[in-house]
Structure 1
Amino acid sequence: MLSKVKAVHLLGTLLAIISLSQVCHTIITQADAKALKHHMLDTLAFIHPSNKTNFVKFCLHRHFCSHKSFAPRPGYFHWRDGTSKAEQEGFWQTYTCVLKSDIKLCPIDGQWSLWVEWSACSAACQGVGNRTRTRQCNNPLPANHGLGCFGRSVDIEVCSGKCNNSALANGLKEAEEHLEEVHKAMPQLRIECLIGHCTYNTLKKFLKPFMRDKYWSHLICYKYKRACPVDGGWSAWGAWSECTVACGNGYLYRQRACTSPSPVNGGQTCPGQAYQKKSCVAKKCSHITGREKAVFSEWSKFSPCSVSCGTYGSQVTRRSCLLKGKCLVRGETVANLIISKPCFQGACPRKGGWSDWSEWTDCSAVCGEGRKTRLRMCADPYPSGGEGCLGPEVETSDCNRSQPASQNKTTPVTKAACSSNSSQEKGGNCDASLG
């Protein structure tokens, strides 16, 4: 930094130089003269503090200095430590505009424009993504070796995807239906997680591993109205492509996308294929002349079975006439030849169903309090390619025996026997019931 005395001295020298320039060169306004003075004072900050006074006396009063006046050796002017190449260029441009008293030659540093509006969030409904905004270094643009703008031109921040009302409503409805189905089979899970508060680990007591994530995401959606899973939906199929060949057997293609809507927050992806192809027979065969053998196309691949499961269907292969009216079979003109064969895709998938509960087992206690058990099986029907059964396979209940069990039903049981047996069981003394 210049001291106050040195600054005043330099200011006076600059004013004298600018006044002399007005006489020798061009008359400039008082405002321009003031601007030139401030430009030069600002740019002197790039010279090493020990060289500033000498530079003003020598280069602004007696001689015209050049880049060669600066060098990292004794007897030369030195730049302030850390001065960049761009700052040095700006210094010499300012020096030139001051000597010539031409404000139009002075460097113009760039300044930022205002930020534009934020872009839309990159995330889908209730997802986490980013949004951006930009600004430009054009207010004004840097010119005459002026410095560029400092700082970033792009700003990025985290954002949450907005949901349209229908997407959120669909997510809540789907979550409610799934929770109702699970809680119907496992009422205790409803008590612990929907009515009360549970953690993900709580689910290990009730649900198989492949069911936990879906239940948890639907619970968060329905209970807290956030991060609702949205299952993906297919867009409409695109148009079929042209046949891949001009003459003979080829293929047609079409596509669709899982974007209507896109799956978010653990929602299921779209079932089925995103890509389809089918065979085609192109008949632009005018280049085939005379009795060229290949008036029929090649046999196509067999079509898919006409039924998906459960019963017999058929599938066909065909070859088509490429030259209309010239395909003869046993003396007759034909357009196509077709072969059909039966097909069977197997039994249809079915969801498993519970059998009836078995009878309760005998109480585990000989006398007093114990436990009893009953079972059921996922066999009515057995699952076949479909989902298994929801809920427990084993159910237990408390029971109480006021009399000890007898191995020989014809032998009466005495008080002593019950008392003796009950002393080994949790239930305690059963004498009172034997009166």
Structure 2
Amino acid sequence: MMETLQVLLVCSLLLVSVEHSESGQCFAYFNTTSGECTQDLGEAQKSQCCQNPTYGYRESDGECQFCGPPVWSPWTSWSLCNILCGGGVITRTRKCFGKSECENPKEKLHMEPCNSTCCSDKEGWAMWLEWSPCSVTCGGPALVGFRTRKRVCNSSPECGLACEGPSEQTEKCESLNKCPVHGIWSGWSQWSQCSGPCVDKRSSNVIMPIRTRQHTCSNPAPSTDTQPHGDSCPGDSSEQQDCIELPNCPVDGKWGAWLPLGPCSVTCGQGLQLSNRKCENPVPEYGGKYCEGESTKTSVCHSPCPVHGVWTNWSNWSECSAACILQGEIPKRTRRRSCTNPAPSSNPAGQPCNGEDSQVEDCTRLPYCPVNGNWGQWSSYTPCPVTCGMGQQVKTRTCDNPAAQHGGKECPGTSRETLTCSTNVQCPVNGVWSDWTAWGECYSPYEGRTINCKTSGGKNNRTRTCLHREHGGALCEGDQLSEIRVCYDVNGCPFKGKWDGWESWNYCTPPCGSASKRIRKRKCKPDYSEYRPTIRSKVATFVGKPDCGDPPDGIKSERQQCNNAPPC
């Protein structure tokens, strides 16, 4: 028995703990018109959240609740007549928001009779319009799209209930057409061999060897079995490039005419002292053969002369070291040349070529590389912004480490995080005036004196109360707790007068069920000519319902059935 009691005690404590720890969502603003909560502060217990009387609180499975004193929402607009053809009712409602009941808690539904004339067969929806085109135009069963169609309500606004259901429908659809495949180039092939071994400058038109490379529109190839066909690859399928790094072709020399006799003029090798001729028709170039035979008719000066180095033409620029410009790092490209056009002789030693055999330059025309954004450090949380109740602290970070640039991705995630803070201090609740009470009976200012049906003046009053003030909140604005006015007591008093139409209908009572009715009364306009209009210089009021006798038809009130009221 003792063990059973201990188990029950533990279960009870666990239940209490669970109930106490249950929490909902706290909001910094509650809309007393719509009943909606906004400006989410985070999870909190109701007792904490509602320390601030302007906040809203929502349990995990419930509607938003107002933390402040009770207040009525505005009345809704009148509904449409609940019957399309014939007698029905229209209604309007309001809601009470707050921690306790509003004044006159039963006054939340008004109902009045209506007579709907929406009896025509033409009322209601028109035929559905055609379906819109499918949102996808190709792709087959694997790609699902949507299409919509609409219809129009032919009814006037007051007959809107004749159009029940949606005005638009959406359904899935697919296209049986295959999507066109647009062509993409394959990678470039390797460069071909140059079309010749050297640059031919023997004629007036220089013949420069070339090399080529190709790529094909096959990665993928454009589709031909779709409608429309796929687009072909832009640009050319091949490229060619001059082989400017090749040496010039050798030019063999030919003798010119013999010269008159003269001294030997060479400084190396063997010279001619008598008649000579020059190998200049043409001069041998670029390693071409010198003229065959003797250049003189007598003695020959023959000693090898040094050959000085000459640069070849520059090669084409290489590919850039990267495809785009990264921050602070500009890609480079190079080109080269060689001292082989001709190369300097070794014996006797010729002079080497002057200058560098390579050049490097920046690839400044490339696009910038995309830079994906990265978050900077989180800031510290801001101080709790409230001095009572609950608030929200905020910390932020910036996408600047680095910032996204040149088409790079923005930072993923959020730039702002919040933290709920609680002061555990109850906020002041300001006072709110109650409604004025109804005016009381008109009584004589002199105790024991009766003024009913007499021309002697009296007074009556009404009062109000400052409600819901708590925790040092402000008093209600103004200090008038009561109002007093001068009056005459004419309740039940017979008067000469006339019946002057009808008072307004009251609302249907009760506001539901088959017994619901409304009432209006005849309006009696008595002759008050024997009464002074003022009492002690103040405008007098007539209090009570005077008796004007019976109307000519004997009917003092009318009742009207509120047909087709909703069930209670």
- TM-score of the pair, normalised by structure 1: 0.30
Higher radius of gyration, 1 or 2: 2
The answer to which structure, 1 or 2, has the higher relative contact order (CA under 8 A, 6+ apart) is: 2
Structure ranking higher in strand proportion = 2
